[in-house]
Structure 1
Amino acid sequence: MNCQGRVSPGTAVVLLHGSHGQYKTLLQNSTEWHCVPNISANKMAPFSCSSDQPTALQEKFTTWQCDSVMSQGKGRGWMCCPKGWKRFQKSCYFLSPDKMSWVESEQNCTGMGSHLAVINSREEQVFLFGQIKQPSRGENFYIGLRASSVDQWQWVDKTPYNVSATFWRKGKPSDHNDENCVVMYRDSELPNNWNNVRCLIYHRICEAAAVTV
């Protein structure tokens, strides 16, 4: 990670957590660092230490939290999420304090360089279940699953809908024509807490790929 200098106004800030290898002394002296900005399409983007083009998420946020991770075949590196987001494996998640309709929720996530959460495994489901069970959270959170018609479920990122990898509450999904959006319920038995509902006003979970440097 080729981070240079101390924090200055208007720069991308990276909060590094961990004290491994060559970064140990640096991290003992400062917890906030910035990377030399890339200039791409006349936009400032963090993480010039990465050779990849900046993601939409990188262009939207300037303050980041990074954890030291072991990268296969590359030794130790950093995996970063915007400050205030939660990381699990290779994804970052934002749990909203406010409520919106499903369409507004997806637009809000997209505007932050992410999308409504797409759940691909039991481990991911259990992690998110634990997040919404925290006392400070709201009750019901939209995820990125919606039906164009009864039982025609589709993920926002076009991931194929696999009924064997779903976490519906008992008796769900219902076959009501007007219950085409999906929320995670806080008060349910682990891990099954999906419920199809009318597309009204709920909290939301946004997801984006974590940035690796």
Structure 2
Amino acid sequence: MIPADKAFVLLWVVGLHLATGSEPCVDLDATGCRNNPQICQDTLLAEVTCPVMCNKCPNVPQVTTAATTGYSTQSAACPDSWERFQGSCYYFQTGYMEFNDSELYCNQNNGHLAHINNAAEQAFVSNRILNINPNQTWFIGLTDMQVEGVFRWVDNDEELTPGTFRGWAASQPHDSYDSEDCVGMWFKRGMRWNDISCAAKYPSICEVRVGQALVG
């Protein structure tokens, strides 16, 4: 149980964050915990609010996006404009393409559209695209083109089952007009997943495992 004095401070910090929308440190650690200065500058509070100790924000370098030049500070094993997280390199492709063209683009760099394995990866990808283009849906590598209602990841043909991570928005998927066979991270629902038309044109996220050769 959290002591009353810690609980009061925690509620105050959460209220401050929601009221101001302030989040100048937006890096994510492997658990998906945000490094937030109002929390992480206080060691005691960091222990209360995060399952692992937060890094203090003044010492945490900012992660660059695909829209900027140079290496991400977390991407020593990734090429320029690709960002590293949990053993993968990610590229945030801001051009608007159909699903198949987006997958082909990723294939040309020996990768695939992103395969979201867990909540931490979902948080990382959501955080990055919200900083790049928060008003657009982004393709990920999930589709039920082969069998309606059976969603599979394009990188390994793995079926999305109740035992695997699922990031659907409420009431999704619903295959509107029998024409939505691909999946995107939906900006209208906090970047949760939504089934969408494969022929629509959206930006997309490419992923390649660290250590796998990339083209270029």
TM-score, normalised by the number of residues in structure 1: 0.59
1:138, distance to aligned residue in structure 2 (A): 5.6
1:150, distance to aligned residue in structure 2 (A): 2.2
- Counterpart pick for 2:153 among 155, 158, 166: 155
The residue aligned with 2:202 is 202
1:112, distance to aligned residue in structure 2 (A): 1.1
Identity %: 31
Does the CA-based 8 Å contact 2:72-2:81 persist in structure 1?
A: no
Mapped to 2, the partners of 1:160 and 1:127 lie a distance apart of 22
Aligned residue for 1:99, secondary structure, equals: strand
Mapped to 1, the partners of 2:135 and 2:92 lie a distance apart of 9
1:208, distance to aligned residue in structure 2 (A): 0.3
Output the amino acid matched with 2:78. C
Gap change, CA 1:195 and 1:144, over 3 Å in 2: same
The residue aligned with 1:142 is 139
Mapped to 2, the partners of 1:119 and 1:88 lie a distance apart of 12
Does the CA-based 8 Å contact 2:153-2:160 persist in structure 1?
A: yes
The count of corresponding residues between Structure 1 and Structure 2 is 139
The residue aligned with 1:108 is 105
Aligned residue for 1:203, secondary structure, equals: strand
1:204, distance to aligned residue in structure 2 (A): 0.7
Does the CA-based 8 Å contact 1:94-1:206 persist in structure 2?
A: yes
Output the amino acid matched with 2:179. D
Does the CA-based 8 Å contact 1:109-1:115 persist in structure 2?
A: yes
Mapped to 1, the partners of 2:109 and 2:132 lie a distance apart of 25
The residue aligned with 2:3 is none
- 5 Å matches for 1:40-79? 65=71, 79=76
Output the amino acid matched with 1:104. D
Q: Which has the higher helix share?
A: 2
For structure 2, list consecutive stretches of 5 or more residues without a partner in the other structure.
1-68
Does the CA-based 8 Å contact 1:85-1:92 persist in structure 2?
A: yes
1:132, distance to aligned residue in structure 2 (A): 1.0
RMSD between aligned alpha carbons? 2.4
Gap change, CA 1:202 and 1:67, over 3 Å in 2: closer
Cα shift readout 1:46-84 (whole Å, capped 9, x = no counterpart): xxxxxxxxxxxxxxxxx984868xxxxxxxxx9511111
1:153, distance to aligned residue in structure 2 (A): 0.7
Mapped to 1, the partners of 2:104 and 2:162 lie a distance apart of 26
The residue aligned with 1:187 is 188
Q: Which has the higher strand share?
A: 1
